[in-house]
Amino acid sequence: MSDHGTDQTEHVDVVVVGLGPGGEHAAQKLAEAGLSVVGVERGLVGGECPFYGCIPSKMMIRAADALAEARRAQHLAGDVEIRPDWGRVATRIDKQATNHWDDESHATRLTEAGVRIVRGHGRLDGPGRVRVDGTTYVAARGVVLNAGTEPATLPIDGLAATPHWTNREVVRLAELPASLVVIGGGPIGAELTQVFARFGVRVSLLEVAERILGPEEPEASAVIHRVLAEDGVDVRTGVTIDRVDHDGTFRVLVDGETLESEQLLVAAGRRTNLADVGLETVGLDPAARVVDTDERMRAGERLWAVGDITGKGAFTHVSMYQAAVAVRDLLDQDGPLADYRAVSRVTFTDPEVGSVGLTERQARDAGIAVVTGHAEMPESSRGWIHQAGNEGIVKLVADSDRGILVGGTTVGPFGGEVLGLVAAAVHAEIPVATLRGMHFAYPTFHRAIEAALADLDL
């Protein structure tokens, strides 16, 4: 019987609410371990990343990078005739990435693992209890919450009444506009701005802060600002947007000037989907922006939380990492606890911005005795050979008391791949002296890390 009159009650081991990358991973692993698992999803199984985020955006970037390389071939290899065709990108996203925004392959993978998928909005209803429509699922082991995010709305006059785009619309574009204003110079804004500019769209990028990619090192922001400007983007930082109107054309009033564009993309952050998940029923603040978790991803009595809602880095790899921690705890298995010293991230602009651990500012604010080491990618042998498109830097942040790296940034061609070495060093606290004694293959981009290590006053 249930506490809700004629409503149904079902008993299971675990309920996963939200099947984004973390929820999907947790549900599959727990079911494979033999638990009875219900996965609740109100949208597409798989969440933001495969349908509206990482994968379609990276397919766009792959295409835009190919155009940029073809243009560089002009300088390095010979004449190239380029006629950009967005239709090929749209088709690839529609058919290969999202299967027409159909989640069947994700759902099938889960059901084959033994997960029962329940379609609908899940709401906590006390510890270990989740209501979906008329049914209450009572989870003997507990609930994993993976509610994720949606695009934030901005309180700009007039904006709400306009048919502007967010990432949800942009990934479905069949044709490109002639002109576009992008609001927000974070990873989404920076990546998509460059894609559209390289496909010939006239783009203005408006950022309220003093620099784009604000959480990154200032040196990284400066490189990407310069490269976007070279791509023909009108990059404006420190702006105030007073009003947006639309009458077929968008009019954006920014610092007293009206910018006109065919389309408007708002990429100004995310809002966690916590407004209506019943946090108050488990003793948590229903108005909270994030769910606090311990090192086992526990958020309360028989409650675990993973993914963007935890505020530990809104990245797919963080969500899946946390899911693995939660799964171990639910299954009473040994293994590493959640550790965020070496969270890495990559903004897939060209050049890519890879970063891990603390920035110089964060390290100083933490009271660490900071020394930094720098290298310019174009001055490395490989950068010099590469020539066109060789922009980038390496910046290392070291704790001089402990003789280890606490953070690093690798901007350059394949900057996200080059980051791997620095990420391992920060994660494993490899002494700088040991890193300096390594072999660095010649002539690789990652040899710039050797130069930055030499530049550290340690």
Ligand X SMILES: NC(=O)c1ccc[n+]([C@@H]2O[C@H](COP(=O)([O-])OP(=O)(O)OC[C@H]3O[C@@H](n4cnc5c(N)ncnc54)[C@H](O)[C@@H]3O)[C@@H](O)[C@H]2O)c1
Residues in the chain, total: 458
- Least distance (Å) from ligand X to the CB of residue 22? 14
- Chain residues 30-49 in contact with ligand FAD, contact rule CB under 6 A: 40-44, 47-49
Asked if 132 touches ligand X (CB under 6 A), the answer is no
Cβ atoms of residues 403 and 409 within 8 Å:
no
Q: Does residue 86 interact with ligand X by CB under 6 A?
A: no
Q: Is 51 in the site for ligand X (CB under 6 A)?
A: no
Q: 267 or 435, CB closer to ligand FAD?
A: 267
State how far the Cα of 265 lies from the Cα of 53, in Å rounded to an integer: 14
186 binds ligand X, rule: CB under 6 A = yes
Residue 200 contacts residue 176 (beta carbons within 8 Å): yes
Would you count residue 149 as binding ligand FAD (CB under 6 A)?
yes
Long-range contact set of residues 246-249: C-beta below 8 Å, sequence gap at least 24: 246/158, 246/161, 246/162, 246/163, 246/164
Give bridge partners of residue 399 from the DSSP assignment.
Answer: 370, 404
Evaluated on CA atoms 46, 268, 198, 413, the torsion sign reads negative
Stretch that binds ligand X, among 59-67, 187-195, 384-392, 430-438 (CB under 6 A): 187-195
At residue 81, φ and ψ (nearest 5 deg) are: -105, 125
Positions at the binding site: 58, 122, 184-191, 207, 269, 308
Half-sphere exposure of 89 (CA within 13 A, CB side): 27
Choose the one of ligand FAD, ligand X, none that binds residue 222, judging by a C-beta under 5 to 8 angstroms depending on kind.
none
For ligand FAD, which residue of 92, 202, 317, 361 counts as binding (CB under 6 A)?
A: 317
Q: Near ligand X by CB under 6 A, which window of 36-44, 68-76, 178-186, 376-384? A: 178-186
Does 315 contact ligand FAD by CB under 6 A? yes
Q: How far is the CB of 256 from ligand X (least distance, A)?
A: 15
What are the φ and ψ backbone dihedral angles of 82, each rounded to 5 degrees?
A: -120, 130
Question: Taking a C-beta distance cutoff of 8 angstroms, is the pair 402, 434 a contact?
Answer: no
**Residue whose CB is less far from ligand X, 59 or 346:** 346
Residue 106 has, within 13 A of its CA and on its CB side, a CA count of: 26
Among 33, 138, 209, 430, binds ligand X (CB under 6 A): 209
Q: Which residues are annotated as a binding site for NAD(+)?
A: 184-191, 207, 269
Point out which residues bind ligand FAD (CB under 6 A). Answer: 17-22, 40-44, 47-49, 52-54, 57-58, 121-122, 146-149, 167, 188, 273, 277, 307-308, 314-317, 319, 348
